[in-house]
Structure 1
């Protein structure tokens, strides 16, 4: 999902940034699912999903992977280019997952609200990835506890966090608080969009948080 209009207006980047509740997300992405790849990803030269996939692969990430906030499957497509799998999808939007289903990159698709906890067993995944979910108006740092729970010891994480909210929304403090529960934390700053993006957002960046569950 992407990196301020009121949530009742049409789907676009400003509406996504203005989300306030999970219900807002469900409504927005329901209306955006069919056109997301063309209206947003293509027109904005959205490069973040591939950047996260590349960082995960370069760090030695392997499956099984949970793709958090999977949307239409752009990150899984990037992982497939590296031969990484299997990959499962998690997203709050059933409609976005249906769009992703048709691409064939996922083993399983799960509709759930990450902020309410997941019906996934402890230590289920060898990798956790996410692109565009930890950003303005979306999921906050408290969700990291649940992702740590379902990751196996030694699991590799690659999570994009919008650079503009990394400190102010509490992500830096949360990662610090996890202390010995993780190791090898490093942040890789990457552009969210390419040169063809709207000039208002062309310079936006994200921090890919790379770490291992201890």
Structure 2
């Protein structure tokens, strides 16, 4: 059965938010997009204020230590409503593009005025980016999925050879989807180097932390 048609499964982690629980339940891509379409306008308030979503802050702080050139061309992958883009702009980065599969989330992100370009991107497939970026950041996407661990290598297609990719992984999702068994073998299969793996805050009010992963292509 195609993955986009698969039945939604019960989430191994439940919080007091129906939207988060859907995202954590391994929904089909179409179900996930329907959920984000309905959630876009309330996403920031519900995640940051309601559940202590701190991953964007910690990820951007870590990214700033890795990418010191504020004029670097950066792609915010899975940009959602633009939480990361706003934080990057506040730190002086001047060329930020955003990509997300959800049109409704991109519409909210555009209102911040920090992205030079916003475009549709399906993270489960090849990115097909011809003018690759100096660096990429991806926050709040990986863990439960989709996209899943088997799609992770596609992210390297966003950047120039050897350029840094910084992403977060929800630690509850890491455990639930058994990333311990597949993460390092997947990187090896696609010659991706794990530069650093650091613990960060994620949903602080739910006692869920995260991992900040720094990757680069090994060749």
Mapped to 2, the partners of 1:176 and 1:187 lie a distance apart of 16
- Structure 2 counterpart of 1:49: 56
The aligned counterpart of 1:88 is: 97
The aligned length equals: 198
Q: Is the CA contact 1:11–1:32 (under 8 Å) kept in the aligned structure 2?
A: no
| CA RMSD, Structure 1 to Structure 2 (Å) | 2.1
* Match of residue 207 from structure 1: 211
Measure, in 1, the Cα distance between the counterparts of 2:92 and 2:217.
22
- TM-fit CA distance, 1:47: 0.6
User: SS state of the match for residue 116, structure 1?
Assistant: coil
From 144, 151, 155, the equivalent of 1:136 is: 144
Alpha-carbon shift at residue 57 of structure 1 (Å): 0.6
Runs of 4+ in 1 over 4 A off after TM superposition: none
Q: Deviations over 1:80-125 (max 9, x none)?
A: 122123111111100000000000111111112121322311x611
Q: Which has the higher helix share?
A: 2
CA contact (8 A) 1:132 1:162 kept: yes
Local SS of the residue matching 1:174:
helix
Contact residue 11 and residue 28 of structure 1 kept, 8 A: no
Q: Does 1:22 align with 2:16?
A: no
Distance 1:171 1:81 in 2: 32
Give the CA deviation at 1:171. Answer: 2.6
By how many angstroms is 1:11 displaced? 4.7
- The verdict on how the C-alpha distance between 1:61 and 1:142 changes in structure 2, with shifts beyond 3 A counting, is farther
Match of 2:169 among 149, 153, 161: 161
Structure 2: unaligned runs, 5 residues or longer: 1-9, 12-16
Change in CA separation of 1:176 and 1:85 when aligned onto 2, cut-off 3 Å: farther
Report the CA distance between 1:71 and its aligned residue.
Answer: 0.5
Could you say which residue in structure 2 is the equivalent of 1:171? 183
When structure 1 is superposed on structure 2, of 168-177 and 72-81 the one drifting more is: 168-177
Alpha-carbon separation, structure 2, partners of 1:95 and 1:28:
10
Closer, same or farther: CA 156–189 of 1 in aligned 2, 3 Å: same
TM-score under structure 2 length normalisation: 0.81
For residues 18 and 61 of structure 1, what CA distance do their matches in structure 2 show? 37
Whether 2:199 is the aligned partner of 1:192: answer no
User: Structure 1 stretches of 5 or more lacking a match?
Assistant: none
Alignment counterpart, residue 118 of structure 1, candidates 111, 121, 127: 127
| TM-score normalized with structure 1 length | 0.83
1:147 aligned residue (131, 155, 165): 155
